[in-house]
């Protein structure tokens, strides 16, 4: 009989910040990383409750203040190594990353994926082999690109860029845990239900998320498989979504519709959705 060596396991915790941000905090026995710390306070509070933990790394997805605002203070207090997008202006020095690069943090390999759209140089971090909270499944930190039931607003990129970025995330394994940076799920699902009223998976997921939020529990992480079933921005080539968009913008000519214009109008519909 051979004794099996215990798998090295990590613990993943969403630290709430501001009104609806999550600072994703990943740790093993001694070391931790945090993603997009827009505020240092929740991270410092967590570290003071876990004095054996050392903050080894900070992963940044894009330059917005609610994602980088706490980085300088955390670096000053912990000396953590900072990684961030090479193509964006950062408030402090970072180790610059572009798509296809790999970094090793906490003994985990993260692949960088370029996901322009919300901002011009937005990146995501994907770990294929992660054993987290006792469960083996891939892990994705996607900032403000993919949310549960939605996607980020297009502040700097084009609809075609965002569609391509979401396509690259949609190709990840179905069990990939999607760690988005905001708890926007319920309002996203109200819009999703306006687009796909008859989507049974969406109706069921909406009820489950309402139950979680009623108990102040996070709806995240979601999974790529879940999002493929319910997120209209990953479903913009489905006939149900195309028809809903066309009905919402009846003044458009038939020959103006293609996958990019459907996606662009879906995003515009969401921007004005109350
Ligand atoms: Zn943002
Ligand atoms: Fe944000």
Which ligand is nearest the CA of 153, by number? 1
Set 10, 36, 63, 67: catalytic member: 67
Average pLDDT over residues 233-255: 96
Q: What pLDDT does 6 receive? A: 45
161 inside domain: yes
Active site residue 182: yes
Q: What pLDDT does 154 receive? A: 98
- Counting residues of the chain whose pLDDT is more than 70, the rounded percentage is 97
Tell me if 68 sits within 8 A of 38, measured CB to CB. Answer: yes
User: For residue 4, is pLDDT > 80?
Assistant: no
Please list, residue by residue across 161-195, b when 16 or more beta carbons sit within 10 angstroms of its beta carbon and e when fewer do. Answer: bbbbbbeebbebeeebbbbbbbbbbeebbebbbeb
Tell me if 173 sits within 8 A of 224, measured CB to CB. Answer: yes
Active site residue 198: no
* pLDDT band per the 50, 70, 90 thresholds, residue 133: confident
247 inside domain: no
Average pLDDT over residues 92-113: 97
77 inside domain: yes
Lowest mean pLDDT among 5-19, 28-42, 115-129, 256-270: 5-19
Mean pLDDT of the chain: 96
Average pLDDT over residues 131-141: 95
Model pTM score? 0.96
Query: For 38-88, what is each residue's pLDDT tens digit?
Result: 999 999 999 999 999 999 999 999 999 999 999 999 999 999 999 999 999
Copy the structure tokens of residue 20.
């609806």
d(CA 15, CA 37): 9
Whole-number Å distance, alpha carbon 253 to ligand 1 midpoint, is: 33
User: How open is the CA angle 60-66-68, to the nearest 5 degrees?
Assistant: 35
Whole-number Å distance, alpha carbon 201 to ligand 1 midpoint, is: 28
For ion ligand 2, residues whose CB falls within 5 Å: 66, 144
Set 36, 66, 114, 122: catalytic member: 66
257 inside domain: no
Average pLDDT over residues 144-165: 98
Lowest mean pLDDT among 174-178, 182-186, 222-226, 250-254: 250-254
Whole-number Å distance, alpha carbon 155 to ligand 2 midpoint, is: 11
146 inside domain: yes
Number of domains in the chain: 1
- Counting residues of the chain whose pLDDT is more than 90, the rounded percentage is 95
Lowest mean pLDDT among 5-9, 144-148, 191-195, 236-240: 5-9
Domain with 79 in it: 11-185+219-230
* Cβ within 8 Å of residue 215, ≥6 positions away: none
User: For residue 172, is pLDDT > 90?
Assistant: yes
Average pLDDT over residues 226-253: 98
Average pLDDT over residues 196-204: 98
For ion ligand 1, residues whose CB falls within 5 Å: 64, 144
202 inside domain: no
198 inside domain: no
**What CATH number has the domain bearing residue 64?**
3.60.15.10
Average pLDDT over residues 212-233: 98
240 inside domain: no
Sheet strands side by side (includes 108-114): 102-105, 108-114, 123-127, 139-143, 177-180, 222-223
């Amino acid at each position: 009989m051979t004794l099996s060596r215990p798998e090295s396991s990590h613990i993943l915790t969403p630290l709430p910040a501001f009104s609806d941000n999550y600072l994703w905090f990943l740790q093993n026995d001694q070391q931790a990383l945090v993603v997009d710390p827009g505020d240092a306070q929740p991270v410092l509070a967590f570290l003071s409750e876990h004095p054996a933990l050392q903050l080894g790394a900070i992963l940044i997805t894009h330059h917005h203040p609610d994602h980088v605002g706490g980085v300088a203070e955390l670096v000053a207090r912990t000396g953590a190594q900072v990684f961030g997008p090479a193509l964006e202006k950062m408030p402090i020095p970072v180790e610059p990353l572009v798509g296809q690069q790999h970094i090793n943090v906490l003994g985990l390999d993260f692949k960088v994926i370029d996901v322009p759209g919300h901002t011009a140089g937005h990146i995501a971090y994907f770990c294929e082999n992660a054993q987290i909270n006792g469960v083996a499944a891939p892990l994705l930190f996607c900032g403000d690109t993919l949310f549960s039931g939605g996607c980020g607003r297009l502040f700097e990129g084009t609809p075609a860029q965002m569609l391509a970025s979401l396509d690259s995330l949609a190709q990840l394994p179905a069990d990939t845990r999607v760690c988005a940076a905001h708890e926007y799920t319920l309002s996203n699902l109200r819009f999703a239900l306006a687009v796909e009223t008859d989507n049974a998976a969406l109706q069921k997921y909406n009820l489950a998320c309402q139950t979680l939020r009623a108990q102040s529990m996070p709806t995240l992480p979601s999974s790529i498989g879940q999002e493929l079933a319910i997120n209209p921005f990953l479903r913009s080539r489905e006939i149900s979504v195309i028809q809903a968009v066309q009905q919402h913008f009846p003044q458009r000519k038939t020959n103006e519709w293609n996958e990019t214009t459907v996606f662009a109008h879906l995003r515009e519909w969401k921007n004005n959705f109350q």
